[in-house]
Amino acid sequence: MKRSLLEIERIAYKPKLPALFQQADSFNAKLGAAMESAGDHEQVKKHFPNTYGMPIVSFEAGQSKESKPLNLAVILSGGQAPGGHNVISGLFDALKKHHHKSKLYGFLGGPSGLIENKYREISKELLANFRNTGGFDIIGSGRTKLESPEQFDKTRQHLESLHINALVIIGGDDSNTNAGILAEYFLANKVNINVIGVPKTIDGDLKNEYIETSFGFDTATKVYSELVGNIARDAKSAKKYWHFIKLMGRSASHITLECALQTQPNIALIGEEAANFNHSLKAIVNDMADIIAKRADNGENFGVALIPEGLIEFIPEMRKLIDELNELMVIHQIELEKLESLDEKISFIREHITAESKELLDILPVEIARQLALDRDPHGNVQVSRIDTEKLLLEMVKIELKRRKKEGSYAGKFSAQNHFFGYEGRCSMPSNFDADYGYSLGYTAAKLAICGLTGYMSCIRNLSRPAIEWQPGGVPITSMLNMERRHGEDRPVIQKALTKLDGEPFLKFKANREKWSLETSYVYPGPIQYYGPDAVCNRTTISLELENQ
């Protein structure tokens, strides 16, 4: 396999571990306070009678004792995130340190590999080619949802055939919800296989008091910030384009906020703010046009606007329309499947939604209406990455500026380019932080399994400090659950962590955005650095620094 010189150097990198894991060989699980769910306590408890109310877990050094070999299985679930290979590396190393005859099996293609019994044993030689590299190609990933007793039973059969003691599921909020459901199912049916989750998502929406961030967010936001910085410098140099940049982040605006803090663009829209203050689509367009006009008055007919991928779901009237469409696609699934074209679907939809939503649908560009009518993802969500929100806003701003020019209130020039940065960040070579963090999460997951725990998510706290000061442990998956409407019914899911408008990252942005909107004060972060001063190559995200200051 041909490798770049940098990749060769990165494979040789030795990830850092918390001091406890460096100093001791044997550990005991230290049980803390019992944990309730994030919301809807009685309903969640009804769904999880065996795993609800479990305690938070930390580790303490234990007495060395004879250990027995363990067999662990691992899957990667959902979209790629930098650091996934390091989670598997941490699992493997902790498992082999426990007992040299322990084995790690990777099921191929995500959850579907469990159902179809497709796997490979992960060896030292195999893993040597993937340490500290981006991507999920060691075993692949997938979005199959584990939710039926038939799927659970096939999973059990295939795991038992390999004498698996514990299954580790590396994924986001939906994947880890599945991990919690599977752990509950195994306990209820007296299946002696433990289930451990690992938090993964570049979107940053899987976090809470115990999960300070998910692996992948650090690397992805640094990649996007480099690209935004490059675009900003081009805008400042050419002085003739406004760049409308959509950034990945399906349900939360964490990526956009972090990139705004790193690059200081003229406009950065935060979906949660739009929802909180009921900002209409028209109001958002007017606000953007105001900033563009004021910069034009200063002779600056250029700028950078950052737009979160999920913005469209935060705009109240758009949210109402999408909710109606989601319900409609469940209730009238059979009728809609018989329609051959998207235009036929839109005509059908118009006849089955409220007058208010129909009015909104009619004023949207045809292409946006078609994108809203596309099939939902496996979890019943609109596929916002396929909705060109940046183009929608660009066109509506252009129309508004033309109206103002006709009235004589705007004399500037408006030329615009649109971009979407998403896949560029998902498989990047992980930053030092994500290499260390992913490795420590995998190491911790193995220790949770060795201690015989199930229904837990691997967690590392104190992440804004050097890795040696990190605090590994486990948090019950049920403690993160609440009830949400999915596919037309209420289901327990991990509560998404949205951008907090009273949180330090947003307050920092809010205090500076008016200045950034009018002044050209761009920052150019440049590419991720792996070698050099700690302040450059081992720095965490600005968001994490502010949240833990």
**Same domain, residue pair 469 and 366:** no
What CATH number does residue 174 fall under?
3.40.50.450
Residue 9, domain member (yes or no): no
Asked if residue 340 is part of any domain, the answer here is: yes
Domain CATH code at residue 348: 1.10.10.480
How far apart are the C-alpha atoms of 488 and 481, rounded to whole Å?
18
Residue 368 lies in a domain: yes
Examine the pLDDT at 358 and tell me if it is beyond 70: yes
Do both 194 and 336 map to the same domain? Answer: no
Among all residues, which ones are annotated catalytic?
203
CA 248, 266, 419: angle at the middle one, nearest 5? 35
Residue 299 included in any domain: no
The answer on 187 and 77 residing in a single domain is yes
Q: Please report, for residues 68, 142, 148, 415, the alpha-carbon distance to residue 153 in angstroms, rounded to integers and kept in the order given.
A: 27, 19, 9, 58
- The answer on 35 and 163 residing in a single domain is yes
Closest CA to 447 of 460, 463, 436, 435: 460
pLDDT tens string 300-332: 999 999 999 999 889 998 888 888 888 888 888
> Is residue 270 one of the residues assigned to a domain?
no
Give residue-wise pLDDT tens across range 154-173.
999 999 999 999 999 999 99
Total domain count, the chain: 2
Tell whether 115 and 198 lie within a shared domain: yes
- DSSP secondary structure letters along 99-157: -TT-EEEEETTTHHHHHHT-EEE--HHHHTTTTT--SSTTT-EE-----SHHHHHHHHH
Give the domain extent around 36. Answer: 24-61+70-216+427-480
Residue 383 has pLDDT above 80, yes or no: no
pLDDT band at 364 (very low <50, low <70, confident <90, very high): confident
Write out pLDDT tens, residues 59-106: 999 887 778 999 999 999 999 999 999 999 999 999 999 999 999 999
Tens-digit pLDDT profile for residues 518-549: 999 999 999 999 999 999 999 999 999 999 98
Q: Does any domain span residue 288? A: no
Q: Name the pTM for this structure.
A: 0.93
Residues 173 and 322 placed together within one structural domain of the fold: no
Residue 340 sits in the same domain as residue 460: no
Residues 373 and 453 in one domain: no
Q: Going by C-beta distance under 8 Å and a sequence separation of 6 or more, which residues neighbour residue 146?
A: 111, 114, 115, 152, 155, 178, 181, 182
Mean pLDDT, residues 470-483 taken together: 98
The whole-number average pLDDT for the span 356-360 is 88
pLDDT value, residue 230: 98
Q: What per-residue confidence (pLDDT) applies to 377?
A: 65
Q: Is the domain of 212 the same as that of 156?
A: yes
Query: Pairing relation of β-strands 416-421 and 242-247?
Result: parallel
Shared domain check, 39 and 124 = yes
Does a structural domain hold residue 36?
Answer: yes
Instruction: Mark which of 360, 386, 412 sits at the end of a domain.
Output: 386
Of 437, 455, 480, the domain-final residue: 480
Q: How many CB atoms lie within 10 A of CB 252?
A: 25
Instruction: Assign 382 a pLDDT band (cuts: 50, 70, 90).
Output: low
Are 134 and 29 contained in the same domain?
Answer: yes
Strand order in the sheet with 242-247: 267-268, 303-308, 242-247, 416-421
Say if 281 falls within a structural domain.
no
Last residue of a domain, one of 457, 480, 503: 480
Higher pLDDT among residues 353 and 43, named by residue: 43
Q: In this structure, which long-range contacts are made by residues 523-527, counting pairs with CB atoms below 8 Å and at least 24 apart in sequence?
A: 523/229, 523/262, 523/263, 523/264, 524/229, 524/230, 524/232, 524/233, 524/263, 525/222, 525/225, 525/226, 525/229, 525/262, 525/263, 526/226, 526/229, 527/226
Nearest to 22 by CA among 469, 473, 530, 531: 469
Question: Do 97 and 199 reside in the same domain of the chain?
Answer: yes
